[in-house]
Amino acid sequence: MSDQRIVDSIKKARDDKKRNFKQTFDLAINLKNIDLRKAENKIKFEVNIPNMIKENKIGLIVDALVSKTEGLNNVHVIKKDDLENLGKNKKLSKKIAKECSYFIAEAPMMPLVGKNIGSVLAPRNLMPKPVPPTANLEALVGRARKTVRIQLKDSPVIHLAIGTEDMDDEKIADNADVVIQGVISNLPKGRDQIKNYVIKMTMGKPVKFTM
């Protein structure tokens, strides 16, 4: 069941003005009492939200699994032979990194990934999830589209999308709740380091709340 405090904040944040594009619901988690000069406080983890926000493009770095990519929608397939070319073409590498929200790679190819495009993917928190050459790509792609990567760097705030305006309030709230619980469980002092939460639509007013 959705947390009513989150649901109420989403309802309040809904923008009555019609826009000519589909707005996103964003969640900001403001932190306190955390020293980001210490490496151990720069948390980095993944959570799987219950409701897909949109069908993001997934990057697939494959060799033995090339044939398994056929029929998969909205994926960018990078074959073993492509990696060296991408290593020489940073502009194209950056373009692909911008298009894809998540990357999956066959585990034996990870050294080549690191050598050729690691410098592009790593700063964007997009290093691939390594999988065996026998993996079920279809299932992994479906899971990847519900995976949110969270990384705390130099500012004590975590900001990410949790839904779109055409989604039910409860589904957006469920996504927010999973993210919030994931952040709490990964913070060194848990809930004590949460200052507050803010939900807003792309063009809407922010709504602040606490839990």
pLDDT of 184-211, one tens digit each? 999 999 999 999 999 999 999 999 999 8
Question: What DSSP character marks residue 67?
Answer: G
Residue 192 has φ and ψ, to the nearest 5°, of: -65, -15
CATH architecture of 4-52+147-209: 2-Layer Sandwich (3.30)
Q: Under CATH, what is the fold of the domain 57-144?
A: Rossmann fold (3.40.50)
Question: Where along the chain do the CATH 3.30.190.20 domains lie?
Answer: 4-52+147-209
Q: How many CA atoms lie within 13 A of 181 on its CB side?
A: 12
User: Using CA atoms, how far apart are residues 169 and 76, in angstroms rounded to an integer?
Assistant: 31
Statement: residue 15 has pLDDT above 80: no
Quick check: pTM over 0.75?
yes
> Strands, DSSP E only, in 43-128?
44-48, 57-62, 75-79, 100-106
pLDDT of residue 18: 79
